[in-house]
């Protein structure tokens, strides 16, 4: 009878252990309820969060529309302080996801089913939809998994020893000593029964600040930029194949300049789509009183102006940004003639051009970045041909620039840069022309130091 009782207890323990293992297996696929996001583009971000989790077999996401309908059916308010825990209980979810979209970033927070914050991450708002779809699961991978199952602890259960079925022998008085009674063999000890340990609750995570709190995030593209500064401008003009030797080049040595630039992306204030990365940019520079020196040593007072306005499309990534510009610009230098002196041997050069430029900005850290640009200048207005010096001249140009950007105190930046322009001219001279040359190279180098305000 005792052996049968022991066998039944062993079978019950095994069944209990199997049931516990099956229950743990059922919890290996956590359900993640996606609460409605808050802020601009909330619906698109909710869909991106669902896509970011739906492609993985070890997570079962519950879409925000389903969560919203369940909350409405149970008369739950989105302002409920216990919204996370109530949502988890209502939908039998082990995790709850919630996001907040604001001016510069999207913050996504993962909670346990008790409303404790497990992890959080942030994305630049301009590219948040794509980044959430691609990397949300990877960023929350550890926090999405359930707590490891507790080990099964062996706990022996005491079983009362069975009553011996052998008859008791009573000693009878006798003169001769009777042999000692032989004890029956002891039954084997009952087997230890394996009983499952009580499940260990997840460690309570330390409370973290609300997702509405300000958190440092990756650099996002600006909505508005304004830079003002000054620097120097140098110019060098040289002729080639000067048939009569009468055309002297000249040099403008480091004339002082004042300059400024502006960038505006109005769509970034209300959307994170294509229109957020379409804007207008403009630059302008004015050369203060400077002197140009001719090849024979004469000095000529010189004033100059340049400006450019363009449409720009940018493509932001994590850590860098690409851009393309097209618009219209002008570059002009005017020479003064001192009374009683000869006119300069070169005309007032003026160029009008359509720039086709590409640019890039690379973050080298939290406070330092490097920006560069380059492209071709399609010259549409040739001042040297219009002046009559070389009536059949044709001009083309190129431009390149490099800028070091240092964040002083957000949103203020210090920018140190240099821009180079090179115009190459073909004079197309013919016999009988007053001025004969094969061509010329006109080069400009401008350096600037500016303070900029970059609002993101």
Residue position matching structure tokens 């207008």? 280
What is the average pLDDT value for the chain, to the nearest integer?
A: 76
Looking up residue 59, the CATH number of its domain turns out to be 3.40.50.10610
Q: 336 in a domain, yes or no?
A: yes
- Asked if residue 159 has pLDDT above 60, the reply is no
d(CA 389, CA 247): 11
Overall average pLDDT of the 65-93 stretch? 85
Lowest-pLDDT range, 98-102, 338-342, 344-348, 357-361?
338-342
Instruction: Give the domain-ending residue among 126, 144, 162.
Output: 144
Q: 234 vs 345, which has greater pLDDT?
A: 234
- Give the mean pLDDT of 205-212: 43
Quick one: pLDDT band at residue 452, thresholds 50, 70, 90?
A: very high
For residue 270, the enclosing domain spans 224-455
Average pLDDT (436-441) is 80
The domain tally of the chain equals: 2
CATH number at residue 316: 2.40.128.100
Q: Is residue 154 part of a domain?
A: no
The CA angle 46-49-54, to the nearest 5 degrees, is 125
Residue 356, pLDDT score: 94
Q: Is residue 168 part of a domain?
A: no
């Amino acid at each position: 009878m005792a052996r049968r009782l022991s066998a039944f207890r062993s079978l019950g323990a095994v069944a209990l252990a199997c049931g516990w293992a099956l229950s743990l297996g059922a919890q290996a696929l956590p359900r993640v309820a996606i609460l409605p996001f808050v802020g601009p583009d909330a619906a698109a971000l909710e869909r991106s969060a669902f896509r970011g989790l739906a492609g993985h077999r070890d997570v079962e996401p519950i879409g925000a529309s389903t969560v919203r309908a369940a909350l409405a059916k149970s008369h739950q308010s989105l302002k409920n302080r216990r919204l996370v825990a109530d949502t988890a209980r209502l939908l039998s979810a082990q995790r709850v996801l919630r996001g907040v979209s604001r001016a510069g970033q999207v913050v996504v927070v993962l909670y346990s089913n008790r409303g404790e914050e497990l992890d959080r991450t942030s994305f630049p708002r301009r590219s948040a939809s794509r980044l959430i779809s691609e990397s949300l699961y990877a960023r929350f991978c550890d926090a999405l998994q359930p707590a490891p199952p507790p080990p099964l602890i062996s706990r022996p259960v005491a079983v009362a020893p069975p009553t011996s079925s052998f008859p008791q022998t009573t000693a009878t008085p006798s003169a001769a000593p009777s042999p000692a009674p032989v004890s029956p063999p002891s039954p084997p000890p009952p087997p230890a029964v394996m009983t499952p340990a009580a499940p260990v609750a997840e460690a309570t995570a330390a409370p973290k600040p609300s997702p509405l709190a300000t958190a440092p995030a990756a650099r996002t593209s600006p909505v508005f930029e304004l830079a003002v500064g000054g620097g120097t401008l140098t110019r060098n003009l040289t002729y080639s194949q000067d048939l009569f030797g009468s055309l002297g080049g000249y040099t403008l040595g480091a004339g002082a300049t004042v300059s400024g630039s502006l960038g505006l992306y109005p769509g970034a204030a209300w959307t994170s789509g294509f229109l957020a990365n379409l804007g207008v940019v403009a630059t302008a520079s004015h050369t203060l009183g400077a002197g140009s020196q001719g090849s024979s040593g004469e000095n000529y007072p010189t004033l100059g102006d340049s400006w450019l306005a363009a449409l720009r499309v940018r493509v932001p990534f994590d850590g860098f940004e690409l851009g393309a510009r097209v618009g219209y610009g002008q570059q002009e230098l005017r020479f003064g003639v001192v009374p009683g002196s000869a006119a300069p041997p070169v005309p007032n050069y003026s160029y009008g051009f359509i720039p086709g430029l590409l640019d890039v900005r690379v973050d080298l850290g939290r406070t330092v970045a490097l920006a560069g640009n380059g492209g071709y200048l399609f010259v549409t207005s040739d001042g040297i041909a219009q002046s009559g010096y070389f009536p059949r001249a044709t001009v083309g140009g190129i431009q390149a620039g490099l800028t070091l950007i240092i964040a002083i105190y957000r949103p203020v930046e210090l920018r140190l840069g240099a821009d180079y322009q090179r115009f190459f001219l073909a004079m197309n001279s013919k016999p009988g022309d007053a001025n004969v040359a094969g061509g010329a190279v006109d080069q400009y180098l401008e350096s600037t130091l500016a303070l900029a305000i970059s609002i993101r």
